[in-house]
Amino acid sequence: MKENQTFELVATAASGLEALVGKELRNLGIECQVENGRARFKGTMETIAKANLWLRTADRIKIVVGEFDAYSFDELFEKVKALPWEDFLPLDAEFPVAGKSIKSKLYSTPDCQAITKKAIVNRLREYYHRPASVPLAETGALFKLEVALLKDHVMVTLDTTGPSLFKRGYRLEKGGAPLKENMAAALVQLTNWRPDRPLVDPVCGSGTLCIEAALIGHNIAPGFNREFACESWDWFSDDVFEKVRAEADKAADYDVELDITGTDINGKMIDIARANAEEIGLGDSITFKQQALKDFKTDKEYGVILANPPYGERLGEEESVRRLYKEMGETFRPLKTWSKYILTSDLLFEEFYGEKATKKRKLYNGALRTDLFQYWGTRPPRKPRTE
């Protein structure tokens, strides 16, 4: 493989976050097309490195090895075998094949996986001149593949990321209902917060929303402190990640002053939140303190409250959670210049909060359908233009 070779790529995303992933790619100067569950784009090894390092809301970056229609297992076998696997997989590659099949004639996912694997093995045996009686070793670097069928259309992909992009590496401990880091970053991006405004999470738990906001505020690449699967591949240039990491380090603004506060009634969670922020070097950028939500007061203006409170999904929790929603309404309503964003799966949230939301946005927190209830504050006065 050459560094300037162009690959067909996809950035996968949770339902409802695809447009944010597309926006992030375009902000990186990468043209893309947004589809259900992903954004498609083209690029070189440098593009792959940049997307892995910088995308805050995506799950994985995958190379599309091949795409075609298949209506029989024979057709699937032949079309997978016709793909240039020797360009991607060395002789000792470990290459598990995951799969999914939706509304396709070839509905048996295990069969699709097995046939895909067999086709690749046959292609590699022929290319590397290995007898059929000797199994491939699969003792080398890991190349995770997926065969995905949707309405008889097949996409075969190679995962460049490894553990999902939400695994930033800073979360030493988490609370009982943790929010994934990429979902937290998405929630911050869906608010009208800017780094020159205050941001408060009044039920901060292990601090993920505050930490993701601080990463955005300092323009720190979310994948800066981790490694990616493609870095272990012999054909992927080491220089590429070295260059992209150096550029990311230069782009970070560690001097910007941020006003980010996380509070929680549970002191143990505040200790965890502080430890997580320290782990990624943002201990001085966020104030964490133990406080009941109803005790929140502020003289600041034009801030943003962003909260992921308990949803009351567990038996017996509903009453206490709805009491919390009522406290939120009573505490936040007087803050006319503040915008408030609350994520919950409780469709009756507005009733207990005591006010209709300005806007609602449907999102999925894992497999759980949720709504982001948005209450927009008054806009700050325009600053006079200086000549």
Q: Domain check: are 200 and 331 in the same one? A: yes
Q: List phi, psi (to 5°) of 230.
A: -65, -15
Amino acid (1-letter code) at residue 203? V
Q: Domain check: are 44 and 135 in the same one? A: yes
Q: Domain check: are 19 and 62 in the same one? A: yes
Q: Domain check: are 150 and 186 in the same one? A: no
Q: Domain check: are 355 and 255 in the same one? A: yes
pLDDT tens for the chain, 387 residues: list them.
777 899 999 999 999 999 999 999 999 999 999 999 999 999 999 999 999 999 999 999 999 999 999 999 999 999 999 999 999 999 999 999 999 999 999 999 999 999 999 999 999 999 999 998 889 999 999 999 999 999 999 999 999 999 999 999 998 887 766 799 999 999 999 999 999 999 999 999 999 999 999 999 999 999 999 999 999 999 999 899 999 999 999 999 999 999 999 999 999 999 999 999 999 999 999 999 999 999 999 999 999 999 999 887 665 678 899 999 999 999 999 999 999 999 999 999 999 999 999 999 999 988 899 999 999 999 888 877 665
Write down the pLDDT at residue 80.
98
Q: Domain check: are 129 and 195 in the same one? A: no
> Which CATH number characterizes residue 123's domain?
3.30.2130.30
In a domain, 166, yes or no: no
Instruction: Report the distance separating Cα 285 and Cα 197, nearest Å.
Output: 13
Q: Domain check: are 145 and 194 in the same one? A: no
In a domain, 384, yes or no: no
Edge-to-edge strands, sheet with 32-35: 32-35, 38-43, 7-12, 60-69, 153-159, 145-150, 97-102
Q: Domain check: are 270 and 334 in the same one? A: yes
Domain that holds residue 130: 7-159
In a domain, 165, yes or no: no
Write down the pLDDT at residue 316.
64
In a domain, 72, yes or no: yes
Write down the pLDDT at residue 21.
98
In a domain, 246, yes or no: yes
Instruction: Report the distance separating Cα 228 and Cα 186, nearest Å.
Output: 21
Q: Domain check: are 316 and 357 in the same one? A: yes
Instruction: Report the distance separating Cα 205 and Cα 272, nearest Å.
Output: 8
Q: Domain check: are 19 and 49 in the same one? A: yes
Q: Domain check: are 250 and 323 in the same one? A: yes
Number of domains in the chain: 2
> Which CATH number characterizes residue 337's domain?
3.40.50.150
Write down the pLDDT at residue 177.
66
Write down the pLDDT at residue 383.
74
Write down the pLDDT at residue 116.
98
Write down the pLDDT at residue 317.
79
In a domain, 229, yes or no: no
In a domain, 366, yes or no: yes
In a domain, 96, yes or no: yes
Q: Domain check: are 185 and 298 in the same one? A: yes
| 8 Å CB contact between 303 and 200 | yes
